[in-house]
Homo-oligomer: A and B are copies of this chain.
Amino acid sequence: MKKVHVYVTLKRGVLDPQGKAIQKSLNSLGYEEVVEARVGKYLELQVEEGPNLMGRVKEMCDKLLANPVIEDYSFEVEEAIHS
C-alpha cells in the first residue's frame, strides 16, 4: 500500500475570492503581515501497489482531482506506515 499526497492549487492569475477573504480576516485579527493567501486542496490517497503508479495518479489528477483549465497540481508518493 502506498500513500499519495496530492496538492491542487489555482493557477497564477486566477482570482481566489476565498483566499482574499482569509487574508482580510487574518489582517483584521491583527495579522497585518499577511499580504496574500491562496487556497487549494490537499488530498491523501491510499493506493494498492501496482504497475505505473505515477502515471495512473497523473491520470486521476487530470480526469477528476484537478480542473486543468484553472488549476495546477503536484503529487508525491510515500510508503504507507503500517498501523
Residues of A within 8 A of B (CB): 1, 7-9, 19, 22-23, 25-26, 29, 31, 33-50, 56, 59-60, 63-65
Whether A25 contacts B64 by the Cβ 8 Å rule is yes
Whether B40 contacts A44 by the Cβ 8 Å rule is yes
Question: Oligomeric state, in number of copies?
Answer: 2
Whether B42 contacts A42 by the Cβ 8 Å rule is yes
A40 to B44, CA, bound (A): 8
Whether A41 contacts B41 by the Cβ 8 Å rule is yes
Residues in chain B near residue A65, CB distance under 8 A: 22
Whether A44 contacts B9 by the Cβ 8 Å rule is yes
Residues in chain B near residue A47, CB distance under 8 A: 33-35
